[in-house]
Amino acid sequence: MFCVNIPNFGSLLLSVLAVLSSSLVTSVCKSQTPAPTPDSFRFIHISDTHLTSHTNIEPLQKLATEIQTMSPTPAFVVDTGDVTEAGRTEEYARFREGVSQTDVPFYCAPGNHDVRWSPTGKEGFAQAFKQLYQSFDRGGVHFVILDSTMLLEHWGHIDTAELKWLETDLKKLKRGVPVLLFMHHWVGRAPKIVDNEEELSRLIAPYNVRAIFVGHGHSDIQWKYNSIPCFMVRGLYQGSYSVVDVDSEKIHVKRIRKENPTRTPIEIAAIPRIAPMDYRHVEFLWNDPNIPMLERRRPLAELRIGKAGAHDDRVKAQYCIDNGTALPMDRDDRDHDSVSFRTEFLTKPLSPGYHELKITLTDFDGEPYTRVEPFCVERLKDTPLNAWDNAFKTGGPTQSSPIAKDGLVFVTCLDGRLYAIDAKSGKQKFATTAVGSFVGSPIVNEGSVFAGNTNHYLYCYDARTGKEKWKYDCGTSIFSTPAIQDGIVCVGVDKKIIGLDAKLGTYIWSQDAGSFFQSRATASQGVFYLGGWDNTVYAIAASDGAIRWKSRIGRSHSGKGALSFYYSPAIASPIVGEGLIYICTNDGTLHALKAANGEDEWTARAPAGRDSLGYSSPTLADGVIYVGGLGKNGDCYAFNASNGSLIWQCQTSSENYDCGPTITDNHSIIGSVEGMVTWINRKTGKIDFQYHLEPGFMFTNSASLGKTTYFTGMNNRVQAITIP
């Protein structure tokens, strides 16, 4: 965000735009200078092959056969993700078998299916295909394959390290080299599926990116994102793929579909290798100080279009707030060298928190160009406020929930660090470093912090200094959160539950399991409880690891055959109380299992037509179970803990996925995918407060100390919000 206070609007606006213009000369020229004469070649774009150990192999084998008969022979094939159904070792082996009939190389981008249910996560994909993201050159064209996946989720995000790699990679290119991007999740169309797509858009804007190829949506469609053509294909097993012929002047995208029995490629686009000379993009600034209490905001936007179109009346500008009604912007006639627009809007009608301003500028050819800018609105009383001067910045996104204890907020991060943050000031007390990523949440016990890492190690740190006390190699990636009982720390990993001495980190016992674990373990009265991806809830004795009982729950496909792992009690974490174990299965059921034997005491489901249960972890307080729904309504529920009867339901109107409630004296606090946080009155089920956090997806619970609640998310931020 570019924020500046401009008392003398006219003179300083032009000087600021002049500075911006001079700073972009080099990057603009990169897209305008012709590249060396290239070789002509062909490649294939496929997506969503969804290989299992026994299905979808025939379409891949058919493609391999067709490749052999094509003229010219394709140079390579790019698969934009969901290569497998669940990221299993045997599925990757099946893929290699399917392509074995051709010598044409296959480049693969990971998809959500490759990492969402895989016991090895992204590690398994990297082992199968060597790299998660990469680039290479062919015939004067630069190909970039990106990883847009999130561990354990179906949503998209491109993390900080990958964006830095991409920036470095593109900077190495010679001027005018055409760039083609490949990734699994779409960008530039609704609904937003990659939360930081704007960051990607700005990064690639100075370069000659000619097209983006994606999957995920299982549709044969195309659109443009800030003038860049984007192409999606259906899954290969659905009968579609693209043939792309590159010659000295254009990139010809052709589609083969099962609806065409002749299998003749139909051209759907012919893209010039070099961008037009009047290279266009949007520049933006605020014509006011960046103060959340302002009653009005004044944005300025410029379409970089060149002097030839500076005063063309066909160039228009609109803006909207949070995808609301589009309103016109006024042309700034004082800008003689480009096309600038300005407007102002009141903040009084807006709720507290962060909002998004979207500006759309349309050139004289009718081509739209967009820019999205966040801004904050706050009021001095009667509404939630930022408790810290600034949000705490982590080195990467966070999929784990924070823990607030002893005046500190502990956060584990995908950047491999455990952060300890002063709860009052938001200042860092310490940060540890490990190779790998922390996906599960930390736990704090008797002066120690425990957390599992994708590098296979369970770590124990000193809670005051961050010094490593011990680490234990569990032999596989750790996505879950451990629990402690009677001096034993227990963690679930792939096909195993492990118990260690909490002080020494030495092995005590282990117990076999049917699959892997991603949720939080819990403990009570000498027993650990864990829910896994094998449709099983385990009750394990803390003393020796003996199985007290196992309960198989969930459902099968269409009510037929064995239970399906998709509906396991694996995402929502169990909670213990009232002599019962409360846990959700992914089929929309809240189970109350008897702690003595694992049998259902009662089950509950969401009311008909409302968001289902499943992914949100239940919380117990004062004889009431609080749990979030899964869906666009953002429904939350309170159930009687003794019999499962519904006490109240509350619609937050903000889509939820994994977020679970945090309970304080008066409120049930729950987040949402887009970062809207809601304080629900525990007695009435009515909304007392809402606050929108800084932009970025959120899949975590929060932590509270007094009236301040702490939140993490995919935006590399830890935020503290205080209610009145």
Residue 638: the pLDDT is 98
pLDDT by residue (tens digit) across 693-723?
999 999 999 999 999 999 999 999 999 999 9
pLDDT of residue 310 exceeding 80: no
Are both 244 and 287 inside the same structural domain? no
Residue ranges making up the domain that contains 595 = 488-692
Are both 603 and 634 inside the same structural domain? yes
User: Taking residues 112-117, what's their average pLDDT?
Assistant: 96
Indicate which CATH number applies to the domain containing 371. Answer: 2.60.40.650
DSSP letter, residue 544: T
Number of domains comprising the chain: 3
pLDDT of residue 87 exceeding 50: yes
Domain boundary among 339, 362, 377: 377
Domain boundary among 272, 298, 329: 272
pLDDT by residue (tens digit) across 442-462?
999 999 999 999 999 999 999
Residue 278: the pLDDT is 58
More reliable by pLDDT, 136 or 3: 136
Determine, yes or no, domain membership for 117: yes
Residue 191: the pLDDT is 94
Residue 27: the pLDDT is 31
User: Taking residues 533-553, what's their average pLDDT?
Assistant: 98
Element (H, E) at 413: none
Determine, yes or no, domain membership for 92: yes
Would you tell me the crossing angle of helices 122-129 and 89-98 to the nearest 10 degrees?
Answer: 30
What six digits make up the tokens of 319?
A: 């803006």
Are both 229 and 302 inside the same structural domain? no
pLDDT of residue 636 exceeding 70: yes
Residue 471: the pLDDT is 98
What six digits make up the tokens of 496?
A: 């195993």
Residue 175: the pLDDT is 85
pLDDT of residue 131 exceeding 70: yes
**Confidence class for position 279, pLDDT limits 50, 70, 90:** low
pLDDT of residue 419 exceeding 70: yes
pLDDT by residue (tens digit) across 656-665?
999 999 999 9
pLDDT of residue 33 exceeding 80: no
Are both 320 and 248 inside the same structural domain? no
**Confidence class for position 364, pLDDT limits 50, 70, 90:** confident
In 3D space, the residue among 675, 670, 646 whose CA is nearest the CA of residue 660 turns out to be: 670
**Confidence class for position 2, pLDDT limits 50, 70, 90:** very low
Are both 293 and 356 inside the same structural domain? yes
Determine, yes or no, domain membership for 27: no
User: Taking residues 647-670, what's their average pLDDT?
Assistant: 98
Residue 656: the pLDDT is 97
pLDDT by residue (tens digit) across 673-687?
999 999 999 999 999
**Confidence class for position 406, pLDDT limits 50, 70, 90:** very high
pLDDT of residue 34 exceeding 60: no
Gap between the Cα atoms of 131 and 59, Å rounded = 25
Residue 30: the pLDDT is 33
Determine, yes or no, domain membership for 442: no
What six digits make up the tokens of 16?
A: 């600021």
CB-facing half-sphere around the CA of 416: CA atoms within 13 A: 10
Are both 516 and 650 inside the same structural domain? yes
Residue 307: the pLDDT is 62
pLDDT of residue 329 exceeding 90: yes
pLDDT of residue 158 exceeding 50: yes
More reliable by pLDDT, 35 or 340: 340
In 3D space, the residue among 312, 318, 335, 313 whose CA is nearest the CA of residue 370 turns out to be: 318
Count of CB atoms within 10 A of residue 8's CB? 8
Would you tell me the crossing angle of helices 89-98 and 57-69 to the nearest 10 degrees?
Answer: 30
Count of CB atoms within 10 A of residue 509's CB? 17
Gap between the Cα atoms of 17 and 43, Å rounded = 41
Are both 357 and 229 inside the same structural domain? no
Are both 264 and 317 inside the same structural domain? no
User: What percent of the chain shows pLDDT beyond 90?
Assistant: 86
Positive/negative CA dihedral, 377, 382, 388, 394: negative
Encode 570-596 in three state secondary structure.
CCCCCEEECCEEEEEECCCEEEEEECC
Determine, yes or no, domain membership for 708: no
Residue 492: the pLDDT is 98
Determine, yes or no, domain membership for 385: no
Residue 561: the pLDDT is 79
Are both 359 and 249 inside the same structural domain? no
CB 195 within 8 A of CB 157: yes
pLDDT of residue 23 exceeding 60: no
Are both 492 and 560 inside the same structural domain? yes
User: Taking residues 493-498, what's their average pLDDT?
Assistant: 98
Determine, yes or no, domain membership for 466: no
CB 277 within 8 A of CB 31: no
pLDDT of residue 242 exceeding 90: yes
Residue 653: the pLDDT is 97
Indicate which CATH number applies to the domain containing 667. Answer: 2.130.10.10
pTM of the full structure? 0.92
What six digits make up the tokens of 476?
A: 């596989």
Residue 38: the pLDDT is 62
What does pLDDT average to over the chain? 92
Residue 229: the pLDDT is 97
Q: Provide the β-strand partners of residue 710.
A: 703, 720
Are both 74 and 185 inside the same structural domain? yes
pLDDT of residue 485 exceeding 60: yes
Indicate which CATH number applies to the domain containing 148. Answer: 3.60.21.10
Determine, yes or no, domain membership for 448: no
Gap between the Cα atoms of 579 and 544, Å rounded = 22
Domain boundary among 272, 290, 319: 272
Determine the 3-state secondary structure of 104 from DSSP: coil
Are both 574 and 503 inside the same structural domain? yes
User: Taking residues 196-202, what's their average pLDDT?
Assistant: 96
pLDDT of residue 431 exceeding 90: yes
